[in-house]
Amino acid sequence: MSHGKLYTGRRVCRDRQINPDAEVWVTLDDGRQYVLPHIIQHSPTGMEWGYGGSGPADLALSLLVDFGLRQEVALSFYQDFKWAKIARLPATEWTLSRREIGDWLAARLIWFSDSPDAGPACICSLCGLPIEDDESTNATPPLRMWSQDGKQEARFHQSCGLPLLEGAI
């Protein structure tokens, strides 16, 4: 089974540089590569890893968006992801697969319950299409993902969220 994408972080010295630059590359199944786009939320100087600062926060956000979460959804979960994964990465070089990110997300998915806060409709956090929450349509219930503090939530169509649970992403 393919991983879909492989993220690799490494430190690169250029010319007479004393402190190496942190680079994150994305490798696709077909071997093509690109530099992970830096989504600047906290650190205009770049992404980092191996500790819990602003550079690692930007890396966490950038990875979740590249994975496929809409940015407004990723903003609710990137700090948890930073502490769980990014702050623990080795300082010099590391790899992280799309599957590992999917497994982290899957650990936060739970079945939607008939709770009063369900609301009439919401948007899937992966595909961006509306999720109907109407018992009269007999639609399959969506999945939810919660932040560690329980204050932030994301919702997914079952067709988008179940592959996370099954490790297919």
Burial class (CB in 10 A: 0-12, 13-18, 19+), 80: middle
pLDDT at 52: 93
Do 94 and 122 belong to one domain?
A: no
Do 119 and 141 belong to one domain?
A: yes
Q: Domain count of the chain?
A: 2
Do 15 and 94 belong to one domain?
A: yes
Rounded to whole angstroms, how far apart are CA atoms 148 and 67?
20
Do 89 and 121 belong to one domain?
A: no
Per-residue model confidence as pLDDT tens digits over 51-79: 999 999 999 999 999 998 888 888 888 99
Using 50, 70 and 90 to split pLDDT, how confident is the model at 140? low
Do 81 and 158 belong to one domain?
A: no
Residue 119, SS3 per DSSP: coil
pLDDT at 82: 96
| Residue 49: inside a domain | yes
Do 131 and 94 belong to one domain?
A: no
| Residue 124: inside a domain | yes
Task: Write out the two tokens for 117.
Answer: 């806060």
pTM attached to this predicted model: 0.74
Task: Write out the two tokens for 103.
Answer: 């497994």
| Residue 78: inside a domain | yes
